[in-house]
Every structure is written in C-alpha cells, then in structure tokens.
Structure 1
C-alpha cells in the first residue's frame, strides 16, 4: 500500500470514512488504498462526488466515479453546485464543498481528502501571495476540524510522482480534468508555469520549502503553547473574549491573541493586518454606542461591554415584516432562527412557550424585529422601554435584532425570547380564547 502503516492505523480507528472522490488520479489512488485497507480492517467506506458543473464532461465524470465505486462495492453519493460566479471562484467552490460535506457527513464519520505533498508546496506559495504569517505558511495539517467535520489527509507526506507511479503499477483508471491546465486559476498558474521554472533552476527548492513549512508549523505550535494559558483565562464560556487585559499588552501579543481567539471560534480564514487594526481601533477602542462591527467572510466581530464576540453574520431584520397566514402550520423564521409553533395543549413545552390570547377574527398575525418604544409588559404598573429591558437583561444589540416580536395588526402582543407579554396580548379568563406559542430554535 502507498499509505504508511502509521496512517493505516489512524484510519482504521475511525471505522467510518467519507472520501471526497473526484475521479482524478490523487483521489483514485487514495480510494484504492482505502479499499485495500478495508480488506484488513472493519471500516465502512462511502465516497462523495461533487459536480461543480464547470465542464461539459462533468456528468460523464460522475458516472465514471459511480461505476468505479460500484466495482469496489462502495456507497456512492453525489451533489451538484450550479451557482456560477466570476470572482474568487476557487474560494467560493471550496466553501460550497465543505457545506455539502457538512450536510452528508454522519456521526463519528471522518472526511478524507487526497491532498498530497505537492499540494502543500503550492499552498505555501498561495499563502505567501496573501502575505500570510507562520500560521498560513505552515500549510495544511494532517488532521483538522473544519465546520465541525474531522478532516484527515492521508497522502499529505506523499509526493505526486509517488502517486503517479503507484497508479501505473496498479493499472488504475482515472479522469484527466482539462481545467487543471487552465492558468486563470492561481493554483494552476503556479503548478504549470511558475513552479516548474523554479524547480528547473533549483532542483532542491521544493525540499527547502517543505522544511520551511515544518519550521513554520513548529513555530506556530510553540507560540500557541506559550499563549494558551493567557487565552484560556480570556475566553469565556460563551466563546467571547474578555478584552480588558489586552490594553496592557503589546500590539504583537494582542494581535496574536485575537487571531487565536478567532481560530478558537472555528473560523479558519485569519484576519488581515488591516482587519486586526479595525478590530482594535474601531471596535475594541470604540467608546460611543454605534455598535461597530467588521465582517470577515461569513462572520462578524462585535463588542458588547468588555467582550468581543465572533458571530455568524446574518442580514439585518429591522424593517422585515412577516405575515403568518396559516396558524396550523409552523412559521419558519428567517436567518435560521428556527420556527414558531402554536399549541393548544401545552404539556412538553410549558417552560419554553408563552400563553397569550388568540387573535380576533379581524386581526392578522405579523412577525417583526428590532422595534423601539414603551409598552405595558406583564405585571408592570408603568410602561417600560423594550430596549431598556433588553439592556438590563444584558442582551447584546445583535441578539435583540434577531428576537421575533408578535403583532396582531399594529398591536404589539409579545416578545418571544424573554416571554414579555403586553397588555394587548394578555390571556383571557376563557381558555378557549387563548393558546401557547412555542419558539423552536432548532433549525
């Protein structure tokens, strides 16, 4: 087998394996090795082909992969990506692939990919182009967690020549994707134009880069070990970062802490120097109440009191007004906030639901977000400003913006997060005129 014994032992421990299978030489060699490993150990194999629809032959390639998996008795899955974009193509499709993997991966199943040593070599140069530090220049790790998926790269220390000769020796068949020659993609430009010239001039250069990658990995590991005791004290149970001590640290130290904290929050595209400057000067050091934020990819960095939060970015719902037409059907909320369910008998959800009056025959139910104003809530004698209530409950502004508010026509009935019921929504003495509303946050 091409995979070394130590890697075989790691793979067989996982037992359930999902391989990203494109039909190319690298993933074909990896799949063949996994099939051989299955003969020795009780592992369950599945393969997934992702059709990017960038080539007219892509459906034929999917069929090839399906027949190959059928021949080797492997469960075969496939998914399509149909959205076309013109910029940041490689990054976009990479993100889409991992979203798909997340949808298909099973509990205790590991994802394996066919990244090899030459991919590592190319990644170093791509990171260098972006101006990365030791973290970026340390390349791809053998094992990594991405989007809660455990990713393993069994071929990461094996070069392309070894893979090619192995495939020839075992008489394997694979797909040759012509787009691998298209130099409009950065990786292909490096692979086909730049790196061959470097290797021709300096045959030892690839080995030197691999050594540099290992040095960067060791340096990053050392820095992480040194900063972890501080980081553990600063990171809170809700994954926020306590920022008060950062004012006493050097720029280098605080930037490294913020980077590591963002990584801890499972966001893997590290912020640039410019982004770190904005995080510190416009968010951490911001004294006014404009609730500044910076968007990094699909996440947003925001401050509340003495804490930084790394939260998934969702569009603002401030002016969103949603109509709930059929009360017999659960109402699906935007931004993956879950759904609202009306219950007439509340046995299992008593603590999580609110008890209010039903709408009258001429009242229509609306869901709104992020309102202002004073209202009579629950048993308060005086009107209370809803924003002041949220402040007293220490609810950050971005969380307030995502709380569904129930209206009958223009009458504010209830705030569904903290069970704030207005006088207009108060349940009547007649049980038949009331119901429970349960906010199911599981999406």
Structure 2
C-alpha cells in the first residue's frame, strides 16, 4: 500500500531491494482519497518512482461521501479497494510502525476499550480472506526518517498530517511529543502494555472457546438460550466474540452489548427488533441471534419482466431469473409453471401478504404462514422473489411454491421452467 509518504516509501524501497535476493512478485497500489488538490500530482510522483524501480503500479480513486468520521470512512473505502484488486496468492503489506501502535493505543483508550482494543495491531492479520502484513511495527517513525535520509530517498509530505482537528494528528503532533520529551522510554512502555493486553485477550479467548464452539451454529448464528444462565461479563464476552467471528471488525461498545441483550435477545414480542452496526444488522429469530449484512427493504420494489427471453436481473446482487426451454434446458432447481396469457404482464414483487391456494396445501394459506412453518427468518422472506401475472401470484421462487393459478401440466404447449440463479 503505497501513498508516497516516508513510511510507505521506505517499505517499498526495502521490498524492491529484497527482489535481488528472492523471487518476489511486487505490485504497488496508490489510493487517491481526493481530499487534497495535489493528490493527482502525488499519484504521478508515485507512478514515476515505481517506474524507476520497475514495480507494477496501480492507482484507484475513492470519494468519501460521509465526512462525519473521515478517517474511519476513508479506511473502510481504502480496504474495500484492496480487497477488490488483491489476488488470492497475494499479501497486502502496509507501513504501520511503532508510533502508529502508540497512537492506536491512545485512540482505543479514549473510546474506553478493553483488552481487545488495547492489544494493538498484529504483525500478521487475516480478514475477509485478505492477508495483511505489517513488517515495520517495531520500528519508530524517527528511525524510518533517519533511514530514508541515509538512503537519499524522496517522499511526499502531506500537509493534512499537521492538521490537529483529526484525533490521530492531535496525538501525533501535540500529545505524544510532550510525553516522550518527559519520559523518553514511554513508547516502549506502551508496547509492553499492548503485549500484556494481547496475552490477556488470548487467554480469555482460549477459556471461552469451548463454550463458543457449542453455541455457534453452522449458519454462524448464536444459540442464545444458555446465555440467560451466565453473568453479564461472561455473556458480553461471548456476544462480542461471536460478532467478531462473523467478520465484523469494529468492536461493539458496552452500550451496544447492553442494547443487544435487553432490546433484542430479551425481547418477548414479535416485532423482530434489530440493530444496525456499520454494514451489518443484529437480529433474533427464535432462540438464535444472527449477524447479517444490511439489506434494503424491497417491499415497494416492483420489477416488470418485459422480455422473458432475456434473464431478469434482480436488485442488490440477489441474482437473476431465467426462463428455461422445457425440451433443452431443464434444471433440477427450476419451477414448472404455465405460460402467461396475452393480456398478462409478468411482475416480480417482494414481501407481499395475501392468501392463495398453493399446490401443496388443501386450503387457502397466507404465504407468511407457510414461511413461518418452513422456519424462514423474516429478513430472508423479504428477499424472496414472488412471480405475478398482473396482480395474481403465480409462484414463490425460493421454496418452489406454485399457486393454483400458476399450475401447469406437462401437456400444455409453451409452458416453461423458471430458474433463480443466485450468482450474478
């Protein structure tokens, strides 16, 4: 990850030198946050440096829409770029150093974090199948600058690094210099504390893992019934570890854990309470807690399928619907239905109520009643495409439920199979 600053320049230079000893394949990526009018100029300088060292160079533009917490939002966007361009056999190398560790420690301390937050960055981290390597974690900023001058390296100075309205810059430029001026070995003491906190977190994780393994289900949900017998400290740690297990990387606060317990787990009515954290939603279904990706409400979404010869693309990466020729393209997971009449228009709707005669039931049933019997959580119901001819429900495409109005026989001409391909 190459920004052109002194840290990433020193890192890239060392990787460049390593190529003389090892068969190292190296690519550098510059992420332009478009927060400074000189960012395009910096990108060109980085490109020229990579050309001089014969390093493959990539640049990507990102635009931060939410300016409330610009550092955190920029980081999210930046790592999304990394995830999109990095190959399976590649490692992302970043130039985080000793001073970054200390700054992180203070930032997490400010938030009231426990051992997990205060245990700092690890040298190697794996998340979302991305391997992150930070080789400079034990090297101070002062050492990096000294090395860069010694090797006569050229780097970019971003003026925004001096802007103390950002918490990290306030620590970097005001607080930590005063502390280290009085106590020169303070940073080393912070590192010792980070190691101690990491050991505590690892020990707690080892002790709780046998319980956690039994509670986490195959679909990554959490069986919550035993939690009622645990004290608040133990259950909070289990819930936090479960959220972490679901690859949500921002630690839940004490307040958030309180809400999850009192307003979601202990909720007795059928209002399906939920809480959104970042791009995830915590929801309860029966005796299980789910941590799922946030999905927009499709209740008022209506799609018109004008040409059934062309697959219909569903919104929000739900896949596509395909009409299959009865003689050629039969698929096991498809549904056999009658063809629409000349005056019938094909619609796709979501989360619709109403009673119908379904082919596997004798009496009229509400589709929500069927979903409930099939133990389908509410949020999954909301994403199931429902096929209509005009205003008449023909089929529910997840569980292959066909209504009386949509039923076809094998002898009718031009009837077809419809297939929901969930990969798009």
Name the TM-score, length of structure 1 as normaliser: 0.92
Q: Name the structure 2 match of 1:10.
A: none
Shift of 1:159: 1.1
Q: Distance in 2 between matches of 1:85 and 1:363?
A: 45
Q: Does 1:95 align with 2:89?
A: no
In the TM superposition, 1:113-262 aligns within 5 A as: 113-262=94-243
Q: Deviations over 1:100-141 (max 9, x none)?
A: 111111112111111111101100111111111110111111
C-alpha distance after superposition, 1:254-297 (max 9, x if no partner)? 00000000001110111111111111111111111111111111
Residue 280 of structure 2 is matched in structure 1 by 299
Once residues 290 and 360 of structure 2 are traced to their aligned partners in structure 1, the CA distance between those partners, rounded to angstroms, is 34
Q: Secondary structure at the match of 1:295?
A: strand
| Unaligned runs of at least 5 residues, structure 2 | none
Q: Is the 8 A contact 1:339 1:441 kept in 2?
A: yes
Aligned equivalents of 2:361 and 2:327: distance in 1?
25
| Residue 4 of structure 1: aligned partner | none
Which residue pairs with 2:337 in the alignment?
Answer: 356
- 2:47 corresponds in structure 1 to 66
Q: Which one is further off, 351-360 or 300-309?
A: 351-360
Could you say what secondary structure the match of 1:433 adopts?
coil
- Distance in 2 (alpha carbons) for counterparts of 1:365 and 1:91: 44
Residue 281 of structure 1 pairs with residue 267 of structure 2: no
Is residue 98–residue 147 contact of structure 1 (8 Å, CA) maintained in 2? Answer: no
Is 1:327 aligned to residue 308 of structure 2? yes
Aligned residue runs from structure 1 range 73-84, under 5 A: 73-84=54-65
1:246, distance to aligned residue in structure 2 (A): 0.8
- Contact 2:324–2:330 (8 Å) recurs in 1: no
Q: Aligned partners of 1:306 and 1:202: how far apart in 2? A: 53
In the alignment, the residues of structure 1 paired with residue 69 and residue 203 of structure 2 have an alpha-carbon distance, to the nearest angstrom, of: 33
Structure 1 residue 380 corresponds to structure 2 residue 322 = no
Query: Within the alignment, does 1:414 sit opposite 2:413 as a pair?
Result: no
CA offsets, 1:395-416, max 9 Å, x none? 1111111111111111111111
> SS state of the match for residue 197, structure 1?
helix
2:18 to 25, 37, 40: 37
| 1:241–1:261 Cα contact (<8 Å) kept | yes
Distance, in Å, in 2 between the alignment partners of 1:300 and 1:84 is 21
Q: Deviations over 1:135-160 (max 9, x none)?
A: 01111111112333111111111111
Q: CA RMSD in A?
A: 1.6
Corresponding residue SS for 1:300: strand
- Cα distance between partner residues in 2 of 1:37 and 1:326: 57
- More deviation in 352-361 or 223-232? 352-361
Contact 1:227 1:257 (C-alpha < 8 Å) held by counterparts: yes
Secondary structure in 2 matching 1:39: coil
TM-score by length of 2: 0.96
